[in-house]
Amino acid sequence: MNKRKRRKIAKTVAILFRVIGTLILLTVIGVTASIVIPQMRGYEVDHVVSGSMEPNIPVGSAVYVNKKIKPVDIEEKDIIAFKSGSSLVVHRVLQNQKVDEIFRTKGDANEGEDLHEVPYRDYEGKVVKHVPYIGQIIMIFTTGLGKISVLCFAACGLMLNILAGRLSEGNRRNAS
């Protein structure tokens, strides 16, 4: 293989490495930002694991819960997050009984209202936004193993960019 052909292949590989490395880094930044920025603004980010709110909020969606909204400010048809045992439940409010400090709720996909009323003490906040499918990614990235994977993924992106730079530099040296 002649020098010109080798340089052309090296240049193509360098461009490919740079593009892939940059895409990896942008993905890591985007997913991390979708978790960190809302938390800095007082939102809890969680994911939906059941189909009780489908089709409005599909399984695997990320939900952004505003913890600053007080239970007394919740209105009929708002979607809230609340604790039920060790789970976080996302359901629509049918009625906010402010005097008794309880909510009557229902999942959109469920035929009837929830069997148990939700006391204010179990209220976590109002769901202000949901993004389909992103919750699955967030769930993976927030585990211990997921955080290590994100760091390794980012390191791969960085190494591909460094390698692309070295290939380009070697090409420039060989061309002169």
Helix orientation angle between 144-175 and 134-141, rounded to the nearest 10 degrees: 90
Question: pTM of the entire structure?
Answer: 0.72
Q: Which CATH superfamily is domain 3-175 in?
A: Umud Fragment, subunit A (2.10.109.10)
Residue 5: pLDDT over 90: no
Q: Which amino acid is at 40?
A: M
Query: Residue 140: which of 25, 62, 51, 54 has the closest Cα?
Result: 62
Q: How far apart, in whole angstroms, are the C-alpha atoms of residue 138 and residue 136? A: 5
Q: What is the pLDDT of residue 110?
A: 95
Residues 85-114 have pLDDT tens digits of: 888 999 999 999 999 999 999 999 999 999
Query: Given pLDDT bands bounded at 50, 70 and 90, which one contains residue 57?
Result: very high
Bridge partners of residue 102, in order along the sequence: 97, 119
CB atoms within 10 A of CB 15: 13
Query: Residue 126: which of 86, 85, 57, 68 has the closest Cα?
Result: 68
Q: Is 68 helix (H, G, I), strand (E, B) or coil?
A: coil
* 143: Cβ contacts below 8 Å, ≥ 6 apart: none
Q: Minimum mean pLDDT among 1-5, 7-11, 76-80: which range?
A: 1-5
